[in-house]
Amino acid sequence: MVIPVVGASPQDAPAPAAVKEFHSYFWWGIFLILVSMAVLQVVAGDGFGMFFTLILAAIVYYMVSDSCANMSMYCLLVFGLISGFESLFGVLTLFSVVGGRSSSTTLITGKDATSVTYETQVKIHPLFDSSQGSKYNIQSALLVALPVVMLLSALLSWWSFRAYPNSLFSEFDEASTIYFLSDLANFAAINKPQHLGFLSRRLYCHVV
């Protein structure tokens, strides 16, 4: 017995000429910025951030390489959503330190046979402070740059996504309907009439 399959979709449309010939320059710029940020994150001691930034750079390279051969609407949608959320989180983090970054130090100030006394010192420094060294200021610069770069990436994804002549979701709905009707016709032609009675009852119950 043949069962109709729902949800099949056609192949992704290739990138439009505008994306290949014009948008790609901006995408390569985003790629270089992400790689530069990853290098700075290594200097700043942010290994996890460097790893995540390199993943984003690899995704951009995958999409843009070979004249945007792998830049599908699905990739643009996912990358744009990731960049948008990262931009939001970056803005929230930046707002939390815009008044100054704090650091704490705990010292043992007293000790005897029965107790130990600790003292915690909390120091607040401006977001950019030359007295704290280059590593501190690179970290602050990355806190500012991250939401900006992620916002630009999200906007670029939206721009390239809009350059496609067709809508991703409307194409998906039309394709799903066509494939479902085609499989349903094959199901009706191949299977026995008694199976069609069962199918008609199921469809009737679903509609009612």
Q: How many residues does the chain have?
A: 208
Can you give the chain as a three-state secondary structure string? Answer: CCCCCCCCCCCCCCCCHHHHHHHHHHHHHHHHHHHHHHHHHHHCCCHHHHHHHHHHHHHHHHHHHHHHCCCCHHHHHHHHHHHHHHHHHHHHHHHHHCCCEEEEEEEEEEECCCCEEEEEEEEEECCCCHHHHHHHHHHHHHHHHHHHHHHHHHHHHHHHHHHCCCCHHHHHHHHHHHHHHHHHHHHHHHCCHHHHHHHHHHHHHHHC
Please provide the distance, in angstroms rounded to a whole number, between the alpha carbons at the two ends of the chain.
Answer: 26
The pLDDT tens digits for 18-31 are 999 999 999 999 99
Q: Please give the model's pTM, rounded to 2 decimal places.
A: 0.70
Q: What is the pLDDT of residue 120?
A: 81
CA separation for the pair 22, 38 (Å, rounded): 26
Strand partners, 104: 122
The pLDDT tens digits for 95-148 are 988 887 777 778 777 777 677 788 787 778 788 888 888 898 999 999 999 999
CA separation for the pair 136, 130 (Å, rounded): 9
55 CB-near residues (< 8 Å, 6+ apart): none
Tell the residue number behind the tokens 């479902």, with chain if given: 180
Section 46-73 average pLDDT: 93
Spell out the domain ranges in the chain.
17-165, 168-208
Phi, psi angles (nearest 5°) of residue 42: -65, -45
Cβ atoms of residues 68 and 19 within 8 Å: yes
Section 71-98 average pLDDT: 92
Cβ atoms of residues 51 and 121 within 8 Å: no
Q: What is the pLDDT of residue 193?
A: 46
CA separation for the pair 32, 183 (Å, rounded): 47
